A and B are shown apart, each in its own frame.
Chain A
Amino acid sequence: MYGLLLRSIQAYLRATFGTALWGRVLRLADLPPEGFEPMLSYDQPMLDRVLQAAGAELQRPVESILEDVGTYLVADPEQRSVRRLLRFGGASFPDFLHSLEELPERTRLALPGLDLPQITLAEIAPGQFRLSCNCSFPHLLPVALGALRAMADDYGALVLIDPELACGPASAGGVLRVQLLETAHGRGRGFALAGGEPSNGW
């Protein structure tokens, strides 16, 4: 989990700001220059150090960097396999939202041992969704926010997605509110069932 997240952050920072900035982030975080491997294990303090260093280098809040990481994972052509695997969740954006509840199982099917936190979707009113994530892992929410916005674009849906602010310690992990204004607003990106070639954009 940390390996995937660290590798995503590394890919996003290198692709967007260049390898020199990424090198500075690693130095600032006091980490070796090789960077991270998606399939290896790392711990949370290491992630925190990288995020802190990236925030300091870019002079941006960590949340906004993580949100861009989420968008990058879905929208960047170099990362096409992430987007394709998510698109298998459903033919429309609401279908896709419902498939998020299956995300941990889908992930485990592909990569046994990788346990994503459980996501729960509630349709509180037509077009109004509440996505809650029961994890004690604060960094995932902004990544999910960025990825969901990019997926909405991908489907051509017009949505408003915002974190639900009033969440006490009981709802650690966080809640996103998704308001679906229009299912077919834009053209979106096409998705053919066939046509998956593994990408290697890390």
Chain B
Amino acid sequence: MDGERCLAAGWWSAALLDRLMPLHLVLDAGGRVLSHGPTLGRIFGGAPLRGRAFLDLFALRRPAGLRGPQDFAALAGQMLRLVPRLPGAPVAGEDADWQDATGQDATGHGAGHEDEAGFRLRGHILALPAPPGPAGEAGGDGGDGQAAAWIVNLSFGIDLPRAVAQLQLTDADFAPTDLALELLYLGEANAAVTGELRALAQRLDDARRQAREEAETDPLTGLRNRRACDSMLARLCREGAAFGLLQMDLDFFKAVNDGLGHAAGDHVLMHVANVMKSSSRAGDCLARVGGDEFVMLLPGMTDPTALRHLAERMIALVSQPIAWQDSQCHVSASVGFITVQAGEAADPSDLLAEADMALYSAKNAGRGRVAQAGEPPPPPRAGAAAAAGG
């Protein structure tokens, strides 16, 4: 009795197999489709499959080297990996890259959609034994060990989500024992949780940036504070970068504070901050490191003449009368600066000390002056009130 007759005789109930294994095929001894499960039919868009050769419908990726149905017995029990050969898709050889065979969408619509890159199947093939027939028929099955028919059962495996999207499958397309729905559930639950964690990480990162920004900012002037300045100076020194360090101290600031009050003093400090901002570039570090002390770190700026000009321009701007309510504030500034050449590997505290010494010599030269570290102090300014408070 051949497979066709077994099926016709109800030896295997097709309905039973359909319910148990919606993704199965029953093949005759020659490898042609006798029947198949409903979900398997959906892969081929409902096209009639009966009578088609199994190996025309699927490209077998593993194991390789299959010659034809005569080798099915050797495959029994092994894991098969295969891809459907869909209408219109190039028919790929068994050893071709699987994507060659599955670049097409079985349902034929929505081409170009990302989900429709195709899907792989896995499964196994087993022999279906012939029913015990009348004695006279026993030899008609093809002899010892010869199967009357084959059954192939398949699963979407890890490509399940893609197959579900592409074939628009529902829970009715799976056997109740199938874990497919749990896998889909897990995928979505994972995405939801991961999305939530990503959002949390983003919010925490924003908060961290803001906290850091606040920790490194002088709240009055919006300039960097000493902590930020120290850390950038340390980094520049560590990297052996070339830069200029400029230290600026206000002159006569105490007089403003004492005479016009702290609000006027704050106003002056904000004005000075604006002068510094308008005189600098984006990558410079402008910091207020003390009451009326400022530091500028200027990466790449090692030309003493340019630094001196910059300092003189700022002093000139700061020395303009600053309007405050009905009166005017008069301050000036003294600047000491130092340059560091590339690869010098200077020590941050030495640099600050040297810049400080230059600043002192500028102050001693009579306020409103600029001095470079290691150079002779500027000549005293005629008529400078050397005793005035800074």
A residues sitting closer than 8 Å to B (CB atoms) are 34, 37-40, 81, 84-85, 88, 91, 106, 109-111, 192-200, 202
Chain B residues closer than 8 Å to A192, beta-carbon distance: 168, 170
Task: Tell me whether chain B's interface is mostly helix, strand or loop, or mixed.
Answer: helix
A193-B164, A199-B195 known; 17 other A-B pairs, CB under 8 Å?
Answer: A37-B200, A39-B197, A81-B191, A81-B192, A85-B185, A85-B188, A91-B170, A109-B186, A111-B193, A192-B168, A194-B184, A196-B188, A196-B191, A198-B191, A200-B195, A200-B196, A200-B199
**Nearest CB of chain B from residue A176's CB, rounded to whole Å:** 23
Task: Tell me, yes or no, whether B76 is within 8 Å of chain A by CB.
Answer: no
Query: What is the bound-complex CA distance between A40 and B170, given in angstroms?
Result: 36
The yes or no answer to B326 lying at the interface (CB within 8 A) is no
Minimum CB distance partner of A112 in chain B: B193
A197 to B187, CA, bound (A): 10
A116 to chain B, nearest CB (A): 13
Tell me whether B171 and A91 are in contact (CB under 8 A). yes
A194 with B168, Cβ < 8 A, contacts A37-B200, A110-B189 known: yes
Evaluate contact between B168 and A106: CB separation under 8 angstroms.
no
5 pairs of residues in contact across A and B, judged by CB atoms under 8 Å: A81-B195, A88-B181, A194-B169, A198-B191, A202-B199
| Beta-carbon contacts under 8 Å, B194-237 to A | 194-197, 199-200, 203, 207
Using Cβ atoms and an 8 Å threshold, which residues of chain B touch A111? 189, 193
**In angstroms, how far is the closest chain B Cβ from the Cβ of A12?**
17
CB-based contact A38/B195 at 8 Å: no
Interface of A is mostly: loop
Q: How far is the CB of A91 from chain B (nearest CB, A)?
A: 5
Least Cβ–Cβ distance between A200 and chain B, in angstroms: 6
Q: In the complex, how many angstroms separate the beta carbon of B188 from the nearest chain A beta carbon? A: 4
User: Is A109's CB under 8 angstroms from B189's CB?
Assistant: yes
Q: A88 near B184 (CB under 8 angstroms)?
A: yes
Residues of chain A with a CB closer than 8 A to B195's CB:
81, 198-200
In the complex formed, the residue of A with least CB distance to B165 is A194
B172 at the interface (CB under 8 A from A): yes
B190: Cβ under 8 A from any A Cβ: yes
Contact flag A194-B189 (CB < 8 Å), given A39-B200, A88-B181, A200-B199: no
Residues in A whose Cβ lies below 8 Å from that of B194: 198
Given contacts A38-B200, A111-B193, contact A194 B164 (CB under 8 A): yes
Which residues of the other chain, B, contact A195 by a CB distance below 8 angstroms? 165
User: Once bound together, how far apart are the Cα atoms of A194 and B181, in whole Å?
Assistant: 11
> Looking at A91, A109, A193, which has the most chain B CB atoms within 10 Å of its CB?
A193
Q: How far is the CB of B155 from the nearest CB of chain A, in Å?
A: 16
Q: Name the residue of chain A whose CB is nearest to the CB of B195.
A: A198
Across the two chains, which residue of chain A brings its CB closest to B186?
A109
Residue pair A81, B188 in contact (C-beta under 8 Å): yes
Interface membership of B161, Cβ < 8 A: yes
B164 and A37 form a contact (CB under 8 A): no
B164 and A88 contacting across the interface, CB-CB below 8 Å: no
Q: Choose from B169, B193, B196 the contact partner of A193 (Cβ within 8 Å).
A: B169
Q: Which residues of B contact A194 (CB under 8 A)?
A: 115, 161, 164-165, 168-169, 184
B185-A88 in contact (CB<8A): yes
The chain A residue sitting closest to B181, CB to CB, is A88
A170 to B341 alpha-carbon distance, docked (Å)? 80
Beta-carbon contact of B164 and A38 below 8 Å:
no
Kindly state the separation between the CA atoms of A66 and B324 in the bound complex, as whole angstroms.
57
Shortest distance from the beta carbon of A188 to any chain B beta carbon, whole Å: 14
Q: Decide if B186 touches A193 in the complex (CB within 8 Å).
A: no
**Chain A nearest CB: distance from B172 CB in Å?**
7
B164, B189, B197, B199: most-surrounded residue (chain A CB, <10 A): B189
In the complex the two chains form, is B171's CB within 8 Å of A193's CB?
yes
* Residues on the A chain within 8 Å of B203, using CB: 37
Taking a contact as CB atoms under 8 Å apart, the answer to whether B181 and A198 are in contact is: no
* B172 interface neighbour in A85, A91, A199, A200, Cβ under 8 Å: A91
Q: For residue A87, which residue of chain B has the nearest CB?
A: B185
Please tell me if the beta carbons of A106 and B200 are within 8 angstroms of each other in the complex.
Answer: no
**Residues in chain A near residue B188, CB distance under 8 A:** 81, 84-85, 88, 196, 198
A39 partner residues in chain B, CB cutoff 8 A: 196-197, 200
CB nearest to A91 among chain B residues? B171
Is A193 touching B189 in the complex (CB atoms < 8 A)? no
Nearest B residue (CB) for A34: B207
Q: In the complex, A110 Cα to B187 Cα: how many Å?
A: 9
Inter-subunit contact A193/B181 (CB<8 Å): yes
- In the assembled complex, the CB of B282 is this many whole angstroms from the nearest CB of chain A, namely 31
How many Å lie between the Cα of A106 and that of B183 in the bound state?
11
Query: Which residues of chain A are within 8 angstroms of B187 by Cβ–Cβ distance?
Result: 196
**Which listed residue (A34, A38, A106, A109) contacts B196, Cβ 8 A?**
A38
Tell me the bound Cα distance from A81 to B194 in angstroms: 12
Tell which of A37, A110, A199 touches B186, judged by Cβ atoms closer than 8 Å. A110
CA–CA, A85 and B187, complex, Å: 10
A85 and B184 CA atoms in complex are apart in Å by: 10
Whether the pair A110, B200 counts as a contact (CB closer than 8 A) is no
Q: Complex: how many Å from CA A84 to CA B189?
A: 9
